Amino acid sequence: MIVRVPDIPSEGLSVTDAAALGSVYRDPTWRLEALRLRLERDGVDVFVTGEVRAAVTQACGRCLEPSPVEVTAAMDVRLVPRPATADSVELAPDDLDVDFYERGEIDISVLVETETTLALPMKPLCREGCLGLCPVCGGNRNLTHCTCQQRPPDPRLAALKDLAARLPR
Ligand SMILES: [Zn+2]
Ligand SMILES: [Zn+2]
């Protein structure tokens, strides 16, 4: 959804219709559920504030089961026109909450995608207190009650686990 900056009225613009944004996410596992955004103009600067709620399916950080994750992102972004000069790199905003817009247009969909993706927890859990996988047999402890826990940990497995923890995911 493109909003032209000159079309933003002086009293501001509200965007609350999630359907109006069309397909926001390139990743089809994401789904936009609701949004409540205010666009306000101050000269050429545009402030976007509000809240976006989205859902995505992620592997649980403990048991690896695909789990729905709700993401609520608070939006508080200032958009400024991208400088046209060659030394624009020098003018890159150091503030994380400042972004550029180009050709007098703001793509709300891109903004929503960026902000909600950033708000995704690093290690989502399928539920509070997920029991995770058994380190011995690999069974999902939420589903099966194996008796492995009683056994002393195998030092070779501990070494493997240690290695696995250090590998990039
Ligand atoms: Zn889990
Ligand atoms: Zn087990």
Kindly state the average pLDDT of the residues 65-90: 82
pLDDT at 1 over 70: yes
Residues with CB under 5 A from ligand 2 (ion): 134, 136-137, 139, 146, 148
Please report which residue ranges of the chain form alpha helices under DSSP H. 108-118, 155-166
Kindly state the average pLDDT of the residues 146-155: 68
Kindly state the average pLDDT of the residues 65-74: 92
Classified as helix, coil or strand, 45 is strand
pLDDT at 150: 55
Kindly state the average pLDDT of the residues 101-124: 91
* Residue type at position 22: G
What tens digit of pLDDT does each residue of 7-36 get?
A: 999 999 999 999 888 889 999 999 999 999
Q: Where are the domains of the chain?
A: 2-118, 131-169
| Cα 1 to averaged position of ligand 1 atoms, centre (Å) | 35
Query: Across all residues in the chain, what is the average pLDDT?
Result: 87
| Cα 103 to averaged position of ligand 2 atoms, centre (Å) | 59
SS (H, E, C) 47-89: EEEEEEEEEEEEECCCCCCEEEEEEEEEEEEEEEECCCCHHHH
Q: How confident is the model at residue 121 (pLDDT cuts 50, 70, 90)?
A: confident
| Cα 136 to averaged position of ligand 2 atoms, centre (Å) | 5
Return the percentage of the chain with pLDDT > 90, whole number: 59
| Cα 102 to averaged position of ligand 1 atoms, centre (Å) | 42
| Cα 156 to averaged position of ligand 2 atoms, centre (Å) | 16
| Whole-prediction pTM | 0.71
**How many other CB atoms sit within 10 Å of the CB of residue 79?**
20
pLDDT at 111 over 70: yes
Q: How confident is the model at residue 116 (pLDDT cuts 50, 70, 90)?
A: very high
